[in-house]
A and B are shown apart, each in its own frame.
Chain A
Amino acid sequence: MILTGILLAVVGLGLIGWFVGRGRARLLYHGRGSMHSMPNYHGWHLALWIVVPALVVWAVWSGIQPGLVEGALLADPAAAALPDNAMHRSAIISQAYLLASDPGAAVFASEAQALAAPLRAIITRFSLIGALLVTIVAFTGSAYGFTRIRARFEARTQVERVVMGVLLLASLMAILTTFGIVASLVFEAGLFFKDVSPIAFLTGTHWSPGNAMGADIDENFGAVPLFWGTIYIGAIIAMAVAIPLGLMSAVYLTQYASRRVRKWLKPILEILAGIPTVVYGYFAALTVAPMIRDFAASMGANNPSTESALAAGLVMGVMIIPFVSSMADDALAAVPRAMSDGSLALGATRSETIKKVLLPAALPGIVAGVMLAISRAIGETMIVVMAAGAAANLSANPLDSMTTVTFQIVQLLTGDQEFNSPKTLSAFALGLILFIVTLVLNIIALRVVKRFREAYE
């Protein structure tokens, strides 16, 4: 509480410092007429000198205070009555913390009641010391900053240096995130591969993590059915829908549609890309899947499943249409006008020009777009969670229930299980594979697009 309060006080002090610094610099400005920096920069310089060192001290103190409090508490005579059993002891102490922050809290350990009062006193004492330290640093900083306000002082240069540092830090966030993803996936997957051999994981055909125990653990973590389901749904069924429809819409919109039609149709088509995947998943489960089941039943299939790879794949394909369409759109637009003009001038019809000249010329761009679309489809989660099913079948029948990598990650990590079991860790191994595959697809696709653009520029 006290430490939060002092934080606000420091910010308030910084604000005052800004006005004081600016005012002081203005006075100087009036006296002399020429200064290196504008008064605002002197204000910022002073404010930074107040806030930044104080914040650093505040952060350090917040980090070390819990340890100091714990030490002081154990040294307190009231703590002498605590039992020796480490677990019991820490339970009582954590109850005491609860009581110290909220006297009305319900606790079950009676020893905690006795500890609460001294604990509160200790926390208050250390908080006050911390607050005092922060205040001293803030005032020292402000005194130093204030003495620097001179006509010749280059406040702007100093402030801009800080600004540059902040900009650099912000752009490093991207690397930090990438690093975080790789580190957490590799670390957890490493724990998993300690128990299960990577070869069995990548080549086994039996997946049932639920009953994976003891010696035959390798047998139950064969991920091939998941990879097959992912490829079958995301890269085969979905692409069979998305490539023809997306490509043909792009051709129509760029080559045939009038400007007005294009202006209306393109945003409507893009709404498809903006609909959340959970809505698609619900639609697939509620409408498309029963339709497909009835259709399969009428075709003579006995007892078809409600959850089918086809339902999930079809809906996923529709979701990807605008993506394929806009990638194809870009690829077609990058083909030089002279090529299609030449073909038309020779007497070819529009469709002949498109089929024989435009599409072959745009092919690398289109292929790259399809690769990006596949990488998006195999990472798609909600549609398969809601429509594809949990059974790990290795089948080529689109009416069968199939499962995917993303589905299994969700399945393995929701619900209550202890965190370090191989079952939970396998989700991270699956995540690592998914990350690597999508990364490779993206890198290749982006490289192809780049080379393709350069070829025509």
Chain B
Amino acid sequence: MSNPTWHSPEARRRLAKRHASERRFKAMGLGAIVLSVAFLALLLVIMLKNGLGGLDWSFLSGADSTSPDIAGVWGAAKGSLLTMLVTLLIAFPMGVLAAIYLEEFAPKNKWVDIVEVSINNLAAVPSIIFGLLGLAVFINTLHLPRSSPMVGGLTLALMTMPVIVISGRNAIKAVPPSIREAAYGIGASKVQTTFHHVLPLALPGILTGTIIGMARALGETAPLLMIGMRAFVATPPGGVTDPSSVLPMQIFLWSDEIDKGFVQNTSAAIIVLLVFLLAMNGLAIYLRNKFEVRW
């Protein structure tokens, strides 16, 4: 087994060089991750440093104002809440029903292919394009009230629906055929099988996808800029047709203010928004871990 060339000084040098390059490569990989995580940490630390001082009860319960000391985030938060409610009420049922149809009932033909392609593409269309759609259709054609949570919610619903359809299809696909066959075996119809057996089993997966889609919609600003949700609104909206702002829009508006006091407000509003998003994503992960069944 002893090949003399393996122990020659030259071979050892070459091996050492290769091992050094191996270590360098591994360090580069670790470095890339550390750099990314460090950027995240820097961002969070700066927001916390600037914003924590501004987080008090009057900030959390007040509405927007021209003075940074009395401006609060509740008006925008309520706008976000109403907008998300509209989005959820439209995107969730539509998305789930479409996913069920495409996964369980759709025949294999050209029309269904077109539906699939358009759903996959919609999921990748830039959000600002949905804003242009909302502006052209909901505001200029249907004359729905400008800057209202209703129009914002409708626009975001169109954007969120493809996400829910795609995650819903994956969840439905993961339900094993044996479940369906057992249901058919005792005489259930196709609709009964789907709604009584497949859907409940797929629901945790669908909910996880829905929450992730809703979290994305909650942080979205660009499409709402298009439909005019950047107005200065000093009172929290009373309903879905009142003019209102949303949390990310409030951040954007405050970031434009020259007054130094708004730097603190902006960062504090960012903390509020991030807490919401973290809570939603945490809930999604919890749901996935708790209810997901590995077949």
Do most interface residues of chain A lie in helix, strand or loop, or is the interface mixed? helix
**B189, A413: Cβ atoms under 8 Å?**
no
State which residues 143-165 of B face A: CB under 8 Å: 158, 161-162, 165
- Whether B29 pairs with A252 at a CB distance below 8 angstroms is yes
Most chain B CB within 10 A, of A349, A376, A427, A428, is at A349
B275 close to A (CB within 8 Å): no
Please judge, given known A-B contacts A167-B101, A318-B36, A381-B221, whether A175 and B114 are in contact too, CB under 8 Å: yes
Number of A-B contacts (CB under 8 A): 241
Task: Indicate if the CB atoms of A167 and B97 lie closer than 8 Å.
Answer: yes
A180 engages B133 (CB within 8 Å): yes
- Whether A274 lies near B277 (C-beta < 8 A) is yes
A375 and B30 within 8 A (CB): no
A245-B35, A256-B26, A410-B128 given; A386·B255 CB < 8 A:
yes
Of the candidates A175, A272, A276, the one whose C-beta lies within 8 Å of that of B273 is: A276
Separation of A279 and B46 alpha carbons in the complex (Å): 12
Residues in B85-101 with C-beta less than 8 Å from chain A: 93-95, 97-98, 100-101
* A249 to B29 CA separation, bound complex (whole angstroms): 5
* Mask: chain A, 276-293; 1 = CB below 8 Å from B; 0 = not: 111111110111000000
Residues 29-42 of chain B: 1 if any A CB is under 8 Å from the residue's CB, otherwise 0?
Answer: 11111011101101
Partner of B129, one of A269, A287, A434: A434
Please measure, in the bound complex, the distance between the C-alpha atom of A172 and the C-alpha atom of B119, giving whole angstroms.
10
In the docked arrangement, what's the CA distance between A444 and B99, Å?
Answer: 24
Query: Do the beta carbons of A173 and B161 come within 8 Å of each other?
Result: yes
- Shortest Cβ distance from B88 into chain A, in angstroms? 15
Whole-angstrom CA separation of A378 from B126 in the bound complex: 8
A307-323: contact bitstring with B at CB < 8 Å (1 yes, 0 no)? 00000000000100110
Convert A162-178 into 0s and 1s, putting 1 for each residue whose CB lies closer than 8 angstroms to a CB of B: 01101110111111011
Please determine whether B136 and A184 come into contact, CB atoms closer than 8 angstroms. yes
| In the complex, residue of chain A having the shortest beta-carbon distance to the beta carbon of B250 | A278
In the complex, A400→B130 CA distance in Å? Answer: 30
Q: Which residues of A contact B184 (CB under 8 A)?
A: none
The reply on B102 being an interface residue by CB < 8 A is yes
CA distance A446 to B252 in the complex (A): 34
A188 to B270, CA, bound (A): 36
Contact yes or no, A184 B255, CB < 8 A: no
Interface pair A164/B18, CB less than 8 Å apart: no
B182 at interface, CB cutoff 8 A: no
Do the beta carbons of B252 and A382 come within 8 Å of each other? Answer: yes
Instruction: Return the chain B residue nearest A283 by Cβ.
Output: B43
Over the window 416-457 of chain A, the binary record of Cβ atoms lying under 8 Å from chain B Cβ atoms (1 yes, 0 no) is 000100000001100100110011001100100000000000
Most chain A beta-carbon contacts within 10 A, residue among B128, B225, B230: B128
A111 interfacial by beta-carbon distance below 8 Å:
no
A-B pairs, top 6 by smallest CB distance, nearest first, are: A379-B126, A276-B219, A252-B29, A170-B97, A248-B32, A184-B136
